[in-house]
Structure 1
Amino acid sequence: MWLNEKKIGDAAIFQYRKLLRQSIPKHIVIDSLFEQTKLDKVVTVLQQSSCWQTQKHTYSGLYVDDQQWQQANKEQRFVQRDVWLRNAPSANTSSTHNTNYLNANIAHDFLAYLRGNEFMPVLSRIFNVTLTDMNVADPAINTNYFRLGPNDFVAEHADDSPGREVCMLLYLNQEWDAHAGGELVFAGKNAQQIIIPPLHNRCVLFDPSTEGSEHWVNSLNTQYADRFRYNVTSWYWSK
């Protein structure tokens, strides 16, 4: 069981719906939504440096190559971060290989769980909409791990693709320092920004079509150059 059952009971769902109605943008923050021990094993996998590759987006084109990136001016670049390589082999070939292999399976299992028939109905209940991958060409690409270093960035953007109903961000940063930066920032209403620190096992759910849902990530403090900001991002569609 990946979910903390105390966070998904009828009373909790009722409260989430109430908060969604009151917030601009329509969003909720749920701490400790997932089972801590399992998430800690996921974090162990993410700390293997061989499993990451730099990803770059511009406003005019996603997944651009280095040549396209260099040709784009600074204002056109809105994402530079690392994406987790699902099929990368473990870098550890020592006697602990079996443990790393099992943990890697756990990391894969969690991504599958987030698109499975237990978790997606929970999101459907919270947002009162039927979410499905029936018409999604490649569901797997819409749920993955990402990390940010001090030289990376996620500039202001919107996630409001047609039919996209819910965006999920789950943070996996153990003992995150309050001065490290990396906060999620929603534009909000009337320039009243909403700032959310990326604390471990903190889940942010939001409707990307609502007012003020444009968002970005505050830069990491260079004093913490030896640390990465880890998260899962997942996007969900209705029928």
Structure 2
Amino acid sequence: MWLNDEQLSDARICTYRESLLNSYPNHIVIDNLFNQARLDDVLKVLQQPHDWQTQKHTYAALYVDNAQWEDTSTDQRFVQRDVWQRSAVNSNNSASNIALNFLSFLRGDEFMSLLSGIFKVKITDMNVVNPLINTNYFRLDAADFVELHADDSPGREICMLVYLNKEWHENAGGELTFIGKDSQPISIAPLYNRCVLFDPASEGSEHWVEKLNAEYSDKYRYNVTSWYWSE
């Protein structure tokens, strides 16, 4: 049981839908959507120092190697973060498996049906070549960054973020910030068990992540990022 049933009544789903349609960009923030005890177990896995690899993107190419990164101008480097390595997880380790199980749930029929109901669009992996790479864990530290960008790939209907940061200090930084409408950015703190859903094609959906405060250099900002396509 990954979902918190209290957040899934018909009335709540109607509220989510209404909020989605009346926001710029079209987005909703749902706190405590998931079973917190199970997320606690996931976080224990993510806090292990292993199974992470630095991921670097530039505007010219994705997933560049160190040589390409060094040859790229600073203003063309738009993502530097760590990505969790599924392949490094021992399949016999039940503790690690819970982290894999959560990712599988987020691409399963139950959760995608919920998303379809909120966004009123049929979400499916039928035409997605490799669904698994579109749902994973990421972490940022004070040296990392995610600069302004858009997620509106053709056919992509929904972007989702789930934050896994316990006792996140309000001055720590790390807010998701949409450019919003009429020069009024919208910032969302990365609080524990907070889910953000948004339409990447909607007005004002371009976004970035605020840098982490250097005073919290010993902290990581953890989240799941997941993208979903229609038929």
TM-score range, shorter chain: over 0.9
Distance in 2, Cα, partners of 1:182 & 1:165: 24
Judge conservation of contact 2:89–2:96 (CA < 8 Å) in 1.
Answer: no
Aligned equivalents of 2:134, 2:8: Cα separation in 1? 23
Moved more, 81-90 or 119-128: 81-90
Deviation at 1:21, TM superposition (A): 1.2
What's the offset of the Cα at 1:89? Answer: 4.3
- The match for 2:204 is 212
Mapping of residues 16-95 of structure 1, within 5 Å: 16-89=16-89
Select which of 139, 145, 150 maps to 1:147: 139
Q: Which residue of 2 aligns with 1:94?
A: none
**TM-score (ref. length: structure 2):** 0.98
2:95 to 69, 93, 103: 103
* 1:165 and 2:157 correspond: yes
Matches within 5 A, 1:184-195: 184-195=176-187
SS at match of 1:64: coil
- In structure 2, stretches of 5+ residues that fail to align are none
Give me the TM-score of the superposition, normalised by structure 1: 0.95
Query: Which secondary structure does the structure 2 equivalent of 1:50 belong to?
Result: coil
How many residues are matched?
Answer: 230
Q: CA RMSD in A?
A: 0.9
Task: Verify: 1:127 aligned to 2:119, yes or no.
Answer: yes
Q: Give the C-alpha shift of residue 222 in structure 1.
A: 0.7
Unaligned runs of 5+ in 1: 91-97
- The ranges of structure 1 where at least 4 consecutive aligned residues each deviate by more than 6 angstroms after the TM superposition are none
Residues 155 and 230, structure 2, Cα contact 8 Å, conserved in 1 = yes
Check conservation: 2:150, 2:206, Cα contact below 8 A: yes
Distance 2:60 2:182 in 1: 27
Distance in 2 (CA, whole Å) between partners of 1:13 and 1:190 is 28
